[in-house]
Amino acid sequence: MMIQLQNTKLKASFNELGAELISLINLETGKEIIWEGNPDFWGGQSPVLFPTVGALKDDSYIFKGETYEMPRHGFARRKFFDVKNSSENEVVFELNSDEETLKFYPFDFNLEIKYTLTENKLTVSYNVKNTSERELYFSLGAHPGFAIDTKNGLNYDDYEIAFSDDEKLEIHPLIDNLISKKTETINLENKTLPLTHKLFSKDALVMTTMKSRELILKNNQNNHKVIFTFSNFPYFGIWAAKNADFVCLEPWQGIADIEDHNQELTEKFGILKLERNEDWKGDWAVEIE
């Protein structure tokens, strides 16, 4: 079932499967902001990454001596969420642990995702609560794909990303979907990264030390601009599929396994721990100009 929110500026659509944002339309221009999800390139649009971000070494982890399998980016994007409440400008999705999740993730949890429209801005808020009797270990990430307009004489290379607080980016290359300990440096000109398809020839740009909490995706040839902000996500990824007309801006609380990780969940880089009844909050927002 599809859920929709709308005000005078924006119209947003969501799928109960994965509580995924699948459309965000600028009503003043009629432009679609979110990637179409063409499976020939990438079938996702804005999946929720939980309770892991990225790949695990051997697609598994160890907790208290037991080995558990976990798919890349976790299982939330493949689960149907309940609609906890909704109004014209806001909807709250909810996912709770169940018998199925406990087989490969031995924790009780409650995950709420709230989408709110305010004028020309969509805000996405997350709340993870530990409903277990013991400590809860998890990661959470966002993966929104933004459409790149290549019609009417426009090109992918006409776009760029401006960073609020970075002069350069320290990138961790991916090796078989795992994080390399080595880093590569991308120097920015005026805090700006030009978009090219070649930029993602080796997969995503993964950053663990990025300072910026505001990024602006903009077109050099017109006034199209997407202002992306986020809080309580220390890591970040930027990615696009080969020759596809989109770019993903991905705030993360947690990353894929480091290449030599021992697979112990409690020792995973970036993993979060919640005590019983404790919760964690994070958010991101996109403003259309």
pLDDT in tens, 225-246: 999 999 999 999 999 999 999 9
Nearest to 24 by CA among 214, 288, 289: 288
Q: Is the pLDDT of residue 155 over 90?
A: yes
Instruction: Supply the Cα-derived Rg of the chain in whole angstroms.
Output: 19
Portion of the chain with pLDDT greater than 70, in percent: 100
Q: Residue 227: which H helix or E strand, with range?
A: strand 225-231
Quickly state the pLDDT bin for 117 (edges 50, 70, 90).
Answer: very high
Q: How far apart are CA 240 and CA 145, in angstroms?
A: 8
Quickly state the pLDDT bin for 276 (edges 50, 70, 90).
Answer: very high
Q: Is the pLDDT of residue 152 over 90?
A: no
β-strand partners of 257: none
Cα within 13 Å of Cα(122), Cβ side: 27
**What is the tens place of the pLDDT at every residue in 63-116?**
999 999 999 999 999 999 999 999 999 999 999 999 999 999 999 999 999 999
The pLDDT of 35-55, averaged and rounded, is: 97
- DSSP summary character for residue 189: B
Q: Return the number of other C-beta atoms located less than 10 Å from residue 222's C-beta.
A: 11
Quickly state the pLDDT bin for 221 (edges 50, 70, 90).
Answer: confident
Q: Is the pLDDT of residue 151 over 90?
A: no
Q: How far apart are CA 19 and CA 2, in angstroms?
A: 10
What class does CATH assign to 2-288?
Answer: mainly beta
pLDDT on residue 236: 98
- What type of residue sits at position 175? I
> Over the chain, what is the mean pLDDT?
96
Check if the beta carbon of residue 94 is closer than 8 Å to that of residue 112: yes
First-to-final CA distance of the chain: 30
Check if the beta carbon of residue 254 is closer than 8 Å to that of residue 179: no
The pLDDT of 275-282, averaged and rounded, is: 97
Nearest to 185 by CA among 169, 200, 198: 169
Got the DSSP string for 143-176?
--EEE----TT--GGGEEEEESS-SEEEE--EET
- Rounded to the nearest angstrom, the gap between the alpha carbon of residue 232 and the centroid of all alpha carbons in its chain is 13
pLDDT on residue 17: 97
pLDDT on residue 272: 98
